[in-house]
A and B are shown apart, each in its own frame.
Chain A
């Protein structure tokens, strides 16, 4: 499942997409994020749920700003959370 966390507003689309079929709940992205945006949660989309990475509730409505500090390097190399994920489960929409 592709979980889209974030929002769309007048200034653009700000979503972090986590592919839960790829995510193995390893915690690497959570450790890598300098802004502490990510967390591991119980997969509550399925009754046989495992752990999955997700965007913290208090960051979901301000992702543009939460992820802002990592963005200036986004065009030259992968940002920390994307780089940390061996399964390539994380993508950013902007």
Chain B
């Protein structure tokens, strides 16, 4: 048992905007998005992103939320007690002990996508770790229609983790590998992660290359996600947020199926939920101070 690489384990990271200074900011807010797989914290100064961290959600959401926040604030000199308003969101939003309020991740994603991609955004597809959300919003980032599929992990990040583990390719490189085929093979089952994994295994046994099996798996996921999106409808501009938006294999196949090019992000799209929460926190703090 010498091989112990865990291919599903994506790297955690953090960042601080070096030119911004929290001591001169009038409203400091935090958005804490505890997802099923990843936890994201965005710290904002007067509505501008200042620092963030992205870590894997552990078994205890309370501990994860504290750890992620402290890591985001590391080396900034800012303590979490000095943040004026904290909004918790995501799957584990009720488990953020220091949150002033919780808001559903659907509203946060729409608001966050609006900030990350600009006001032209009308359709947001958030493909997260354990669910998939299709959201339609207006020019102010307000939700007009949404649909969430959290009954099954097919077509989500968790499915990719399982697959990465099966074929032994780090999850960050999966998308790229899946695109190394001339033509997509027929997709595997898209109704269940376990069935899809079993089918992929069978294909590997038949002698298919890893690239070809990866293509079949990604095609199945893209089909499933596109299906879900069809129910709420799709309108330009279209964006993809959440962890799976980093997988080019999925994004490219979705573009092919939907015949609509998603906008390219100018910051990390995984943060959309946390940024949205921090923006709501700013609005709530202004309300508390009587500014609006």
Which residues of the other chain, B, contact A9 by a CB distance below 8 angstroms? 151-152, 191
Identity of the chain B residue whose Cβ is nearest the Cβ of A1 in the assembled complex? B143
Give the CA-CA distance A9 to B104 in the complex, in Å: 24
Q: Is A10 an interface residue (CB 8 A)?
A: yes
Which residues of the other chain, A, contact B145 by a CB distance below 8 angstroms? 1-4
Shortest beta-carbon distance from A88 to chain B in Å: 16
Q: What is the number of residues of chain A that contact chain B, defined by CB distance less than 8 Å? A: 17
Q: Is B149 an interface residue (CB 8 A)?
A: yes
Give the CA-CA distance A21 to B283 in the complex, in Å: 22
Q: Is B284 an interface residue (CB 8 A)?
A: yes
Interface residues of B in 196-248 (CB under 8 A from A): 227-228, 231-232
- Interchain residue pairs with CB less than 8 A apart (9): A3-B146, A4-B232, A7-B149, A44-B102, A45-B103, A47-B283, A47-B284, A47-B287, A93-B231
Give the CA-CA distance A80 to B106 in the complex, in Å: 29
Give the CA-CA distance A93 to B287 in the complex, in Å: 38
- Asked whether B107 lies within 8 Å of A44 as measured between CB atoms, the reply is yes
Q: Is B147 an interface residue (CB 8 A)?
A: yes
Interface size class of chain B, counting residues whose CB lies under 8 Å from the partner chain? 20 to 34
Q: Is B280 an interface residue (CB 8 A)?
A: yes
Known: A47-B103, A47-B284, A47-B287. A1 touches B146 (CB 8 A): yes
Give the CA-CA distance A8 to B232 in the complex, in Å: 13
Give the CA-CA distance A47 to B150 in the complex, in Å: 24
Shortest beta-carbon distance from B95 to chain A in Å: 16
Q: Is B14 an interface residue (CB 8 A)?
A: no
- Asked whether B287 lies within 8 Å of A8 as measured between CB atoms, the reply is no
Which residues of the other chain, B, contact A8 by a CB distance below 8 angstroms? 149, 227-228, 231
Shortest beta-carbon distance from B106 to chain A in Å: 7
Q: Is B142 an interface residue (CB 8 A)?
A: yes
Interface centre among A1, A9, A47, by most B CB within 10 Å? A1
Interface residues of A in 1-45 (CB under 8 A from B): 1-4, 7-10, 13, 15, 44-45
Known: A9-B152, A10-B191, A61-B151. A4 touches B107 (CB 8 A): no
Q: Is B148 an interface residue (CB 8 A)?
A: yes
Interface centre among B103, B147, B150, B231, by most A CB within 10 Å? B147
